[in-house]
Structure 1
């Protein structure tokens, strides 16, 4: 069974994809992707920053060479690295990603973050420093990648409404998506409505609040543990994760849950044999916490003029 799709410019994006953030062990990711493709996933999300494009490329080559799938069957998203967030860095970065992925083009290329930063080092995100960032100059080079055939569509990630509006105002090739942190705790209803009204697909990351990184945010609420979510899951005889993903999919938001556990990979795709009713939706709306639920705040970059999030998140 294939996942339903959403219009993405002149193309279509499967509404459910598999995320690969933090998965860098080759055998683990290979097995996870094999299960996902067997189940019916046709949308894979990665990024230069994730350091796993080469593994994904190896798996895709195997599936394409075997004849089980064709290139046009699979939607691939990757992203411009933060440290290359300047006009001259765009083409160089995409060519490197394409070489790792063993592809001639990606279906969606995103500006991963609205701030150019120093390269990630051993300190990871904690060592980041923001640098001057030229959104329009970067976007012009993103457009060139479409013209050159390296990217079918282009978009944004972690951009706020003001930043999206600025791109829309200047773009010759419009962005088709904005990948942002979204879940029932951080629902961002007005922002999603704005994106959809302006022809952008909202793509949710941290749809499940990223339980795998719970240790990094011990004080943040975990949406999978929410009692209302669990109650609705019991009502529908589904898992809490399926309820959380369905809540987004019913809003025409694409989801890219990450898992390397075969049973969860399968469950995360099984969203189309039930619907949340009005009572469920109202109950899920009631648990929204707003900005205090945000995980990807990166407060060390708050002084940068292009910091995309509200500074006071509590």
Structure 2
């Protein structure tokens, strides 16, 4: 790959896939126009990002695809093979019979022949059209076995090199693992110094599943998020002593935990700073201090609970991992 970002081996997937440890997230909150997304992705490729995270829901697949095409035409990268592209299956398509049509539509939007990683976005299905928030009466329990079999088929047919999940608790992962022929390569979840997910990370490690962190800086946005990471006294103190930004300390912590990290910034200077985390390290004392930060989930997932759906409360959605 054309940058100095370290890569992590995925334990399942075709041909020993390796994923750049830092990925560029394209979910803008509040939403932005396609031209803004395209421009940001082009800048990110120039800066050195090679892993891009999108989803059917984000409306960023098409502009991401256009940016990739332009980057190749301009010679910034030689081919699509230099990139690692992740997309996600939305709840309205999380039914056994709609998974293959959904990934085909994603590939069409992106203008590529395959994905590197395809994830189930949330552990819930819905009726109706792709929308967020989902109408409370449209929630349905996911047929985990049937949907995962269809996900396996996307890999078997070469539409994606690897498959995984997002926002899955230990218990829900166990349900997938109980019938899976292909182990999920990744579980993309909220992880940061203020929500460290030790239990889930240990579970995933034991089963060869790579944890990839979204919200590594707290993701303050319209729908969810917390400023606890960026306002953390502990992180500020370490950052000051190290001559780094709070964001860099939080991202370095994630990297040292052996997980993947999805960063989101459309600001070119911050895009660069978010990659400047590999030539220094946290001391044992720093790591211990971060380990003692009080913990709270930022993305509660309230919008995925419903009196009509499988999860009536956030405790049921996360199986008590709160």
Q: Do Structure 1 and Structure 2 share a fold, with TM-score over 0.5?
A: yes
**Count of matched residue positions in the alignment of Structure 1 and Structure 2:** 307
User: Partner of 1:193 in structure 2?
Assistant: 202
Q: CA offsets per residue over residues 1-26 of structure 1, 9 Å max, x none?
A: 42101111321010001001125412
Deviates more, 1:303-312 or 1:172-181: 303-312
Q: CA offsets per residue over residues 80-129 of structure 1, 9 Å max, x none?
A: 0111110011001000000000000000000111000245688x326344
**Could you tell me how far 1:35 is from its partner in structure 2?**
1.7
Counterparts of residues 61-140 of structure 1 (less than 5 Å): 61-69=69-77, 70-119=79-128, 124-125=132-133, 127-128=135-136, 129-140=138-149
Please state whether the residue corresponding to 1:140 is helix, strand or coil. Answer: helix
Q: Distance in 2 between matches of 1:7 and 1:308?
A: 29
Q: Distance in 2 between matches of 1:267 and 1:115?
A: 36
**Could you tell me how far 1:222 is from its partner in structure 2?**
2.4
Q: Distance in 2 between matches of 1:271 and 1:251?
A: 13
Deviates more, 1:36-45 or 1:304-313: 304-313
Please state whether the residue corresponding to 2:73 is helix, strand or coil. Answer: helix
Higher helix share: 1
Equivalent position to 2:33, from 17, 25, 29: 25
Q: 1:276 to 1:121 in 2, by over 3 A?
A: same
Instruction: Please report the RMSD computed on the Cα atoms of aligned residues, expressed in angstroms.
Output: 2.0
List alignment gaps of at least 5 residues for structure 2.
none
User: Partner of 1:264 in structure 2?
Assistant: 270
Q: Does 1:297 align with 2:301?
A: yes
Task: Verify the 8 A CA contact 2:57 2:130 in the aligned structure 1.
Answer: no
Q: 1:176 to 1:239 in 2, by over 3 A?
A: same
Task: Verify the 8 A CA contact 1:18 1:41 in the aligned structure 2.
Answer: yes
Q: Distance in 2 between matches of 1:115 and 1:35?
A: 34
Q: Distance in 2 between matches of 1:312 and 1:302?
A: 18
Q: 1:299 to 1:56 in 2, by over 3 A?
A: closer
Task: Verify the 8 A CA contact 2:52 2:86 in the aligned structure 1.
Answer: yes
Q: Distance in 2 between matches of 1:282 and 1:258?
A: 26
Q: Distance in 2 between matches of 1:224 and 1:204?
A: 16
Task: Verify the 8 A CA contact 2:116 2:162 in the aligned structure 1.
Answer: yes
User: Partner of 1:275 in structure 2?
Assistant: 281
**Could you tell me how far 1:130 is from its partner in structure 2?**
1.6
Q: CA offsets per residue over residues 283-304 of structure 1, 9 Å max, x none?
A: 11111313xx332422561654
Task: Verify the 8 A CA contact 2:85 2:116 in the aligned structure 1.
Answer: yes
**Could you tell me how far 1:31 is from its partner in structure 2?**
2.0
User: Partner of 2:44 in structure 1?
Assistant: 36
Q: CA offsets per residue over residues 36-84 of structure 1, 9 Å max, x none?
A: 1111111000000101100001011112233432111100000001111
User: Partner of 2:57 in structure 1?
Assistant: 49
